[in-house]
Amino acid sequence: MTTISNTERGAAKVMNRTDLTQRLVARLHKDEAVVGGIGHTNWDLWASGQRPQNFYMLGSMGLAAPIALGVAVAQPDRMVFALEGDGSLLMQVGALATIATVEPANLCVIVWDNEAFHITGGQKSLTATGADIVAMARGAGLTNSTWAADEAHFESLVDEALGGTTGPRLIAARIDMTKPAGTTDRDPVKIRLNFMSGIAPPDKEG
């Protein structure tokens, strides 16, 4: 297993979002919540199996991490993941400082960086010209932010996050331009109700 902890962006392997999403989901065994950001990010989450603890965002670009922060604050005993694309994160980059300030131990933001707005035609995003998501996150105060060097390193970072003891963290992964493995069924009320029952606190069930 790779154990690089401070991989430079340029040294990180370009991986595949579908594969990494499946690797993440395969490691979830405690009803962890996952908030999938707009577009291909949540399509691949959908395609990885519709866990009731998944929330699929249909618009509101950039708000996956803030939504996940709200879930994490409301349920400090549940691990919460936010999945975002590079374009989405850059649209709401102040959220990194908010998360660093609130400091929930149970929140992990995962960013898929393909240097592009893939769904709108592959236009280059700002990470294509040098913006480094991990450097920005660290600068915002999320000191525990890391580029995934390769698939094994990604899995080890997820495992560390699932340990949940060292505060909020960010994992960034460079990904290719492969299309996602499915398409989310866009029924917002159904998505919300499934998610709410999937993460219902014990005293609020039934």
SS3 191: helix
Q: Is 16 in the site for other proteins (CB under 8 A)?
A: no
Hey, what amino acid is at 46? W
Q: Which of residues 154-173 bind other proteins (CB under 8 A)?
A: none
Residue 30 touching other proteins (CB under 8 A): no
Using the rule CB under 8 A, which residue among 2, 22, 98, 143 binds other proteins?
98
**What minimum distance in Å lies between the beta carbon of 77 and other proteins?**
11
91 vs 62: CA distance, rounded Å:
6
- The three-point CA angle 138-142-146 to 5° equals 65
Size of the site for other proteins (CB under 8 A): 37
CB of 82 to other proteins, least distance (A): 9
Compute the least distance from the CB of residue 38 to other proteins, in Å. 9
Beta strands in 22-168 (DSSP E): 33-36, 54-56, 80-85, 107-113, 116-117, 123-124, 145-147
Strand ranges inside 63-147, DSSP E? 80-85, 107-113, 116-117, 123-124, 145-147
Query: According to the binding rule CB under 8 A, does residue 71 interact with other proteins?
Result: yes
For binding to other proteins (CB under 8 A), which residues are involved?
Answer: 33, 35, 55, 57-63, 66-75, 78, 92, 94-95, 97-98, 102, 188-189, 191-192, 195-196, 199-201, 204
